[in-house]
Structure 1
Amino acid sequence: MRSLATLSNADITPLMNPEKKADLIRAAKQIQAEGAKDAGALSFMARMLVLATLPHSNPGRVPQFSRENGHFKLVVQPGPDMGIPYGSYPRLVLAWLTSEAVRTKSPELELGDSLTAFMNELGLTPTGGRWGTITRLREQMKRLFSARISAVREDEGRFQFSGLQVASEVDLWWDPKKPDQAAVFGSTVRLTEPFFEEIVRRPVPVDMRALRALKKSPLGLDLYTWLTYRLSYLKDPTEISWRDLHTQFGADYNRVRNFTQAVKRELNKILTVWPELRYETPRGRLRLYPCPPHVDRVESAAPEDLLDSPNGE
Structure 2
Amino acid sequence: MVQPGVFRSDTRDVGNQIVTSKGSTDYVGVPYGPKARLILIYLQSEGLKSRVVSLGATQTAFMRSLGLSITGGVRGSINAVKEQTLRLTRCQFVLQYTQVGPNGEEHTQMTDARITDGLDFWKSSSGEWNGVVELNQKFHENLLEHAVPLDKRGIAHLVGNSLGLDLYTFFAYRLPKLNKPLELSWSQLQGQVGAEMKQHRQLGARIREILPDVMAAYPEANVEVTPRGLLLKSSPCVVPRTQVRGVSVVDGKILT
TM interval, short-chain normalised: 0.7 to 0.9
Change (3 A) 1:177 1:281: farther
In the alignment, which residue of structure 1 is the partner of 2:254?
Answer: none
In the alignment, which residue of structure 1 is the partner of 2:136?
Answer: 192
Query: How far has the Cα of 1:205 moved from its partner?
Result: 1.7
Aligned counterpart for 1:98 among listed residues 44, 56, 61: 44
In the alignment, which residue of structure 2 is the partner of 1:87?
Answer: 33
The letter of the residue matching 2:35 is Y
Query: How far has the Cα of 1:154 moved from its partner?
Result: 2.4
TM-score by structure 1 length?
0.64
Q: Which runs of 4+ in 1 moved over 3 A?
A: 156-162, 174-179, 296-299
The letter of the residue matching 2:3 is Q
Tell me the alpha carbon deviations over residues 233-281 of structure 1, each in whole angstroms, 9 at most, x when there is no partner: 1222221111111222212112211111111122110122222222221
In the alignment, which residue of structure 1 is the partner of 2:9?
Answer: none
Quote the Cα distance in structure 2 between the aligned partners of 1:291 and 1:144: 31
Identity %: 34
Quote the Cα distance in structure 2 between the aligned partners of 1:191 and 1:175: 24
**Stretches of structure 1 lacking an aligned partner (at least 5 in a row):** 1-74, 300-313
The letter of the residue matching 1:149 is F
Query: How far has the Cα of 1:121 moved from its partner?
Result: 0.8
Aligned counterpart for 2:113 among listed residues 164, 186, 209: 164
1:77 partnered with 2:12: no
In the alignment, which residue of structure 2 is the partner of 1:150?
Answer: 94
Query: How far has the Cα of 1:178 moved from its partner?
Result: 4.2
Query: How far has the Cα of 1:78 moved from its partner?
Result: 0.4
Structure with bigger RCO (C-alpha 8 Å, 6+ apart): 1
In the alignment, which residue of structure 2 is the partner of 1:53?
Answer: none
Change (3 A) 1:284 1:176: farther
Query: How far has the Cα of 1:100 moved from its partner?
Result: 1.1
In the alignment, which residue of structure 2 is the partner of 1:250?
Answer: 194
Q: Secondary structure at the match of 1:92?
A: helix
Change (3 A) 1:285 1:233: same
The structure in which a higher percent of residues are strand is 2
Please say if residues 232 and 297 of structure 1, whose CA atoms lie closer than 8 Å, have aligned partners that are also in contact.
no
Quote the Cα distance in structure 1 between the aligned partners of 2:235 and 2:67: 28
TM-score by structure 2 length?
0.78
RMSD over equivalenced CA pairs, Å: 2.2
Quote the Cα distance in structure 1 between the aligned partners of 2:97 and 2:242: 23
Quote the Cα distance in structure 1 between the aligned partners of 2:145 and 2:124: 34
Quote the Cα distance in structure 2 between the aligned partners of 1:177 and 1:267: 43
In the alignment, which residue of structure 1 is the partner of 2:252?
Answer: none
Tell me the alpha carbon deviations over residues 135-169 of structure 1, each in whole angstroms, 9 at most, x when there is no partner: 11111111111101122222136444432222222
